[in-house]
Amino acid sequence: MKFYNEVSNVLHYNIQTLNTILGESSDFQAREITLTSINRKAAVLFIEEIVDSNAIQRYIIEPLLTYNLPHFKTDEELLAFMESAVIQSKNITRVEDMTLASSELLAGKTLVMVDGLNTFLSTNTTKWNARSIESPKGQRVSKGPDVGFSENRSTNISLVRKIIKNPNVRVTTKQYGTNTHTDVSVMYIENIVDKQILETIYERLENLQLDAVLEANYIEMVLTKESKSFFPLMLNTDRPDVIAGEMLEGKIAIFVDGSPYVLIAPAVLVQFFQTPEDYYIGKTGLVNIRLFRCFLYLIALYIPGLYVASVTYHANLLPVKLLVGFVSQRELVPFPTSFEVSVLIIVIIAINESSTRLQQNIAITVSIFGGIILGQSAIESQLVEPASLVVVSVAFIFVSVVPISSMRASAAVITLSFISGGAALGFYGIALLSLVFLLHLCSLRSFGVPYLSPFAPVVAHDLKDSAIQLSQEEMTNDESQFMKEETVEETDEA
């Protein structure tokens, strides 16, 4: 059916046109009524599953049926009177385009039209089904707020606003995805945000060309598409308190409707080792859990590669008793140590992936079977060395102390690279790869901010809340700023 995009003044034609645009969907409803006081037909249009039916009945249909409308000389006066005195809604807009009218319906809006007028009145009656606020799943803590984001973007923004009651907080929302029309909101604090980074984010979002935006990762891939690194250049979290803390440091938060994870830009390496507990649990003596966390992560990256290099090329550097134990284990194992350790790491990754995605009761069974029974059986059948299983298990446990999952994923790539380097050139291969990774980290920029900041380049001002954490008073009562060696444009060109 061919139709004109302009709204007609014939009521039934408009209803039929919208019905055609929506594919004659069964949940599209057109409630026709008669405005007896002016003897005109009217219609209330909505999509049944995504609106609040009680609100439509109480604040739109009942006022239209019961209000004694006076006779007006012009249609403009009638529309204005219905907006101001009849329809009871906090936000009413006029729609004079059929394509826009269909988009309003799909967004959960309700359209009101009077026969003889070529304008729809659109009012917000959206009621999306969403889960209630629950505990965060991505970053759990033993002490602190136990509130996590949900899939509702508006709810997530309200949780952050509840923490930061500041008139300088700004939120801008726009739809992206030619098929999904997903709402994406950018949130920041006006007086402390880096304007250049903010403009860059807006520019890249404007150039976004995607058919669908289903999750925050879609936006992250577009904003960081210039980088080919396997290190994450944006932080994502499902905790409102983390977002609030980052915004107070001048960072920018990006909310995507349908995703319980919110993006933060820019991000530096040390942020991925920070947890809310660092600020909620008082420090005792010289104990610094964050520094200890970084140290364990570093050990997890190196220990499998160092083990392979030691057994393969540098056995003479091992203590005699330890060497005798390794040699006795190697006698009956048919595979090279490098192959054995690599397969064990892949098996542990597979067990972790399956336990994450299977049903909870089955996941527990798979974890126990894979972690205990399979490991014990592999040792008894002399397919792997006990020492190899211990090394890989320790590495996996140490990596798990990192609170952000995206950084844990990067560890698998680095660990397998060190195993390959150790198997090929021993300690020299590991040293060479370490230099390559260090140079790569030094070259990375997150929206112009050096990824190794505040260590490379050294920014003494920001060291107070890096690997070593100072007092709360010194960290919170201070103005944050970003150290940029070049503009964002120069970073992208490089």
Same domain? For 51 and 177 the reply is no
Same domain? For 308 and 212 the reply is no
Residue 136 covered by a domain:
no
Same domain? For 258 and 297 the reply is no
Looking at 225-285, list the stretches that DSSP marks H as alpha helix, in order from N- to C-terminal side: 240-247, 277-280
264 contacts: CB under 8 Å, gap ≥ 6: 234, 235, 236, 237, 242, 243, 246, 251, 252, 253, 254, 271
Same domain? For 300 and 182 the reply is no
Q: How confident is the model at residue 494 (pLDDT cuts 50, 70, 90)?
A: very low
Same domain? For 34 and 116 the reply is yes
Higher pLDDT, 113 or 73: 113
Position 222, amino acid? V
Least confident window among 22-36, 308-322, 370-384: 370-384
Same domain? For 194 and 79 the reply is no
Pairwise CA distance, residues 102 & 99, whole Å? 5
Write out the DSSP string of 13-65: HHHHHHHHHTTT-TTEEEEEEEETTTTEEEEEEEEGGGB-HHHHIIIIIHHHH
Pairwise CA distance, residues 398 & 58, whole Å? 58
Same domain? For 256 and 312 the reply is no
Predicted confidence at residue 121, as pLDDT, reads: 92
Residue 244 covered by a domain:
yes
Higher pLDDT, 265 or 331: 265
The count of structural domains within the chain is 3
Residue 306 covered by a domain:
yes
Span 257-291, pLDDT tens digits = 989 999 999 999 988 888 888 777 766 544 577 88
Residue 449 covered by a domain:
no
Q: Is 108 left (phi over 0), alpha (psi -120 to 50) or beta?
A: left
Predicted confidence at residue 484, as pLDDT, reads: 62
Helix 98-106 × helix 11-21 angle, to 10°: 60
Residue 3 covered by a domain:
no
What residue numbers bound the domain in which 321 lies? 289-443
Span 458-480, pLDDT tens digits = 776 667 666 666 666 555 555 55
Same domain? For 70 and 214 the reply is no
Predicted confidence at residue 228, as pLDDT, reads: 78
Residue 223 covered by a domain:
yes
Q: Which of 397, 419, 443 is the last residue of a domain?
A: 443
Q: How many CB atoms lie within 10 A of CB 29?
A: 18
Span 84-129, pLDDT tens digits = 888 988 889 999 888 899 988 988 899 999 998 889 999 988 887 7
| Percent with pLDDT over 70 in the chain | 88
| Percent with pLDDT over 90 in the chain | 23
Residues 378 and 392 sit within 8 Å (Cβ to Cβ): no
Same domain? For 254 and 210 the reply is yes
Residue 346 covered by a domain:
yes
The structure's pTM equals 0.80
Residues 123 and 91 sit within 8 Å (Cβ to Cβ): yes
Q: CA nearest 239: which of 131, 377, 147? A: 147
Q: CA nearest 8: which of 106, 102, 100, 113? A: 113
Least confident window among 40-49, 116-125, 251-260, 355-364: 355-364
Same domain? For 215 and 94 the reply is no
Asked whether the predicted pLDDT for residue 22 surpasses 60, the reply is yes
The DSSP call for residue 69 is P
Pairwise CA distance, residues 271 & 466, whole Å? 8
Asked whether the predicted pLDDT for residue 355 surpasses 80, the reply is no
Burial of 420 (0-12, 13-18, 19+ CB in 10 A): middle
Same domain? For 311 and 404 the reply is yes
Residue 93 covered by a domain:
yes
Asked whether the predicted pLDDT for residue 303 surpasses 90, the reply is yes
Instruction: Let me know the angle formed at the C-alpha of 438 by 435 and 439, rounded to the nearest 5 degrees.
Output: 85
Same domain? For 207 and 306 the reply is no
